[in-house]
A = this chain, B = another copy of it.
Amino acid sequence: MAGSSYGNQLGITTWGESHGPGIGVVLDGFPAGMNLCEEDIQKYLDRRKPGQSAATTSRKEADLVEILSGVFEGRTTGTPISLMVKNTAQHSADYEDIAHYYRPGHADYTFDMKYGFRDYRGGGRSSGRETIGRVAAGAVCAKLLSEMGVLLCAYTRSIGSVCMDEQHFDAAQILKSPSGMPDADADARAMAYIASCREHQDSVGGVIECRIDGVPAGIGDPVFRKLDAMLADAVMGIGAVKAVEIGDGCLVSGLLGSEDNDCFYAEDGHIAKSTNHAGGIMGGISDGSRILLRCHVKPTPSISQTQKTVTQSGEPVDVNIHGRHDPVVVPRAVVVVESMCAITILDAMMANMTAKASYLTDFYCKKR
């Protein structure tokens, strides 16, 4: 499959440009018989909606999802689930001025180099709106995962140098915080920092973290489909992400073996680890502990300061990018990270159904 598809047994294919008729996703390979309605998906999409606070653009996007296939009488049918969000608030005229030069930090230049031209309206295919498809599919996967006992929780860990305090972690705060932080105090400081950056016509980056609880030991493959490699692919594939860490992540390069190794112990006949430096994955396979992932998101490239760039024909030009842009991508990207992790984890858990010959012989003997 080509580059707009993701997944192995479960497959998603996203389509759509920022200013075309709509944005969508086809989720294929999803199991039959799960209850699903638009509201299950809409509540995820609403988490990435702009216009909700000073941290996000003032554009209004209704972003209402329609289920076009794959659900009958309220249940998934096992056939492709096609989901679409119509583009309604897009004004192509706003973007005509950017058609002829290359915005710094954007994909304008690389699209032209690859394809010879591009849909320049609002970033076209490279727009953040493409993630609508990922979030819609992620919502469906997260629902089945929750029925399987797996819970994902992504949140903003830091904005610029403002970091949440682990001691104050409060999951209930995440959706309340405009920054997406699970810590009301840090959220307030982050929002103040964002406001000051916006005042200086600048933008800011941050860190998103995702905790995944309830994945049993044994999920993932030992060589190329390592669970951490698949998660890295999933999350690095989100625009603006420039680094991905699992567990202690970058810290491990400075640790000693005696500090980094997680020791095993047994309690009530159940084997567990006394620490979790590994972030729940050893040798590419889940170990039953919490899976912990972190990614670093760059500042929004669209800033209204004057920047130097060139036109398509190579003429130097000074640009000031006005328009309704988020000064920070992080808060809206939190649900995208959670969604990509959900798709990846469900796919890996599906693959695991055939890890042992006895799973197959038991299943098919029971069927007779």
Contact = CB atoms under 8 A, between A and B. Distances in A.
Contacts of A73: 117
A204 interface: yes
Given A248-B242, A256-B197, A298-B260, A5 B2 contact: no
A263 interface: yes
A260 B106 CA distance: 11
Given A3-B28, A149-B365, A257 B68 contact: no
A243 B246 contact: yes
A282 to B, nearest CB: 5
A233 B125 CA distance: 23
B297 A357 contact: no
A207 B251 CA distance: 10
Contacts of A358: 33, 116
Interface in A1-55: 1-11, 13-17, 20-24, 26, 28-29, 31-34
A310 B202 CA distance: 53
A88 interface: no
Contacts of A10: 2
A205 B255 contact: yes
Contact of A299 (B68, B124, B257): B257
Interface string A325-368: 00000000000000000000000011111111111110111011
Contact of A218 (B80, B113, B244): B113
A320 interface: no
Contact of A355 (B115, B218, B219): B115
A236 interface: yes
B33 A110 contact: no
A107 to B, nearest CB: 2
A323 interface: no
Nearest to A275: B104
A223 interface: yes
Interface in A222-273: 222-226, 228-234, 236-237, 239, 242-266, 269-271
A77 B359 CA distance: 14
23 contacts: A3-B29, A3-B225, A4-B221, A13-B26, A13-B28, A14-B224, A17-B79, A20-B69, A31-B359, A79-B125, A105-B262, A115-B355, A148-B361, A160-B253, A228-B237, A242-B278, A250-B296, A252-B297, A257-B302, A258-B305, A260-B299, A350-B360, A353-B359
